[in-house]
Structure 1
Amino acid sequence: MPELVKKVLLWGFVAFLIYFMAFRPEGAAEMFKAIGAGLMAMFQGFGDFLTSLMT
């Protein structure tokens, strides 16, 4: 992808996040909680997989 397109998309995403957090803080908090819970579940599953390989 051209460098200019990447920069525009990145800045657009950052602007959307700032707008979302400013005008819908409850929704933003719930979204980040859900992302965090998903990441924790993914890493927990990865840890369980590695543990089962070692035993």
Structure 2
Amino acid sequence: MVKKILTWGGIAFLIFFIAFRPDSAADVFKSLGAGIMDIAQGFGDFFTSLVA
């Protein structure tokens, strides 16, 4: 029950954040995307070095 309430609360907050602060929301998602790309690049470099 608590998990369901927290999930819906998180979704509501996300919608509110995007609706009323679209520039800030875009910056957050860009930062998250950049972090994920850095991690993927690190794994790629590791496996390239491992094979080469």
TM (normalized to structure 1)? 0.87
Identity %: 62
1:5 Cα offset (Å): 2.0
Consecutive unaligned residues of structure 2, counting only runs of 5 or more, are none
Aligned to 1:32: 29
Structure 1 runs (4+) greater than 6 angstroms displaced: none
Aligned to 2:2: 5
TM (normalized to structure 2)? 0.91
Consecutive unaligned residues of structure 1, counting only runs of 5 or more, are none
Determine if the alignment matches structure 1 residue 51 to structure 2 residue 40.
no
Determine if the alignment matches structure 1 residue 16 to structure 2 residue 13.
yes
How many equivalent pairs are there? 52
Q: Compute the RMSD of aligned alpha carbons.
A: 0.8
